Amino acid sequence: MIPFSILDLAPITEGSDATQAFRNTVDLARHAEALGYERYWLAEHHNMPGIASAATSVLIGHVAASTSTIRVGAGGIMLPNHSPLQVAEQFGTLAALHPDRIDLGLGRAPGTDHATARALRRYFDQADAFPDDVLELLAYFEPAAPGQSVRAVPGAGLAVPVWLLGSSLFSARLAARLGLPFAFASHFAPDAMDEALAVYRRDFRPSKHLDKPYAMLGMNVVAADTDAAARRLFTTQQQSFIKLRRGMPGLIPPPIDDIESFCTPQELHGLERTLACAAVGAPATVREHIAAFIDRHAPDELILVANIFDHAARKHSYAIAAEVRNELAET
């Protein structure tokens, strides 16, 4: 069976705060480690009241120090917001502290709104330099050469797996050209998934990083003891996306009984398209949807997202997903 991993945004729920969000993140990471998940990734977002993972590398270090075997990494670092040298130093530090456990996923979006992107970057057009920045970053992880004027300390010569993340064909083509693993954001942008996978697999060039394509797909998985209970839990994520589309991001809301009463038919249609890659339901329902998704797209790995208001229910959802993985491995 292919590995299952977790993508976490350190959600701040209504009535809570960032301190509790970080406690929940550590608790969930330990839970995931015990359940046999492959990796635990955190994503860089800014100016989002309900997301506490803005200082991503700091939080990765905290999670890695609180666990012992699970891989911990960025899904991802938005490279246009940073200099390649700074990222190499940060993840070189993490890799030196936690050998063979740190992943670095790179994205080219700002991970925020237009105004905040300008506040983050010295040069707002830096996203256009993304391919060159990736190459510069990869070079900093190479062993330092004699006379090299700029090096990452720590970072040079350390094995930090670099992934490219994307929701379009751009990163799929770049990952293929550079021979890097590729993670597609199908959990919120599924439209180009099939074409991006085909391009990545067709155009992949073996490299010293990877000898064959390795694609990880995002999937929303919200599991509970009954289909009705899971659908209700899923309304938290649905509300969050609708509020974001309305330009009103906020703290993560509690679930509601009827999502249709919260939004217009047009918003619901857009939501169903955005969150189409989902398995929501009781264990049997989730197993059916995950198995069908794997059969259709043949990912090398799945990374699961469960933006659930109640922390205990979120842990239970990931436990059910792990049971599904084990059952599928036996078939």
6-27: pLDDT as tens digits:
999 999 999 999 999 999 999 9
Select 4-221+297-323's CATH number: 3.10.620.30, 3.40.190.10, 3.40.640.10, 3.20.20.30: 3.20.20.30
Residue 126 banded pLDDT, cuts 50, 70, 90: low
Integer CA distances (angstroms), 123 to 117, 129, 170, 204, in order: 10, 11, 21, 31
Residue 115 has pLDDT above 80, yes or no: no
- Mean pLDDT for the stretch of residues 167-178: 96
pLDDT in tens, 251-266: 999 999 999 999 999 9
Count H helices and E strands in the chain, helices first. 11, 9
Average pLDDT of the chain is 95
Own/partner contacts of 252-261, CB < 8 Å, gap of 24 or more, are 252/11, 252/12, 252/13, 252/14, 252/50, 252/307, 252/309, 253/13, 253/14, 253/309, 254/13, 254/14, 254/309, 255/309, 256/232, 257/232, 259/235
d(CA 131, CA 149): 22
CA neighbours closer than 13 Å in the CB half-sphere of residue 29: 29
So where are the chain's domains? 4-221+297-323
- Give one word for 299, left, alpha or beta, with left for phi > 0 and alpha for psi -120 to 50: beta
| DSSP H/E element including 136 | helix 130-140
| Total-model pTM | 0.95
Residue 48 has pLDDT above 80, yes or no: yes
Residue 110 has pLDDT above 80, yes or no: no
SS3 state of residue 188: coil
- Mean pLDDT for the stretch of residues 93-108: 97
CB atoms within 10 A of CB 33: 18
Contact partners, residue 318, CB within 8 Å, separation at least 6: 6, 28, 31, 32, 35, 37, 304, 306
Measured over the CA atoms of residue 232, residue 74, residue 118 and residue 10, the dihedral's sign is positive
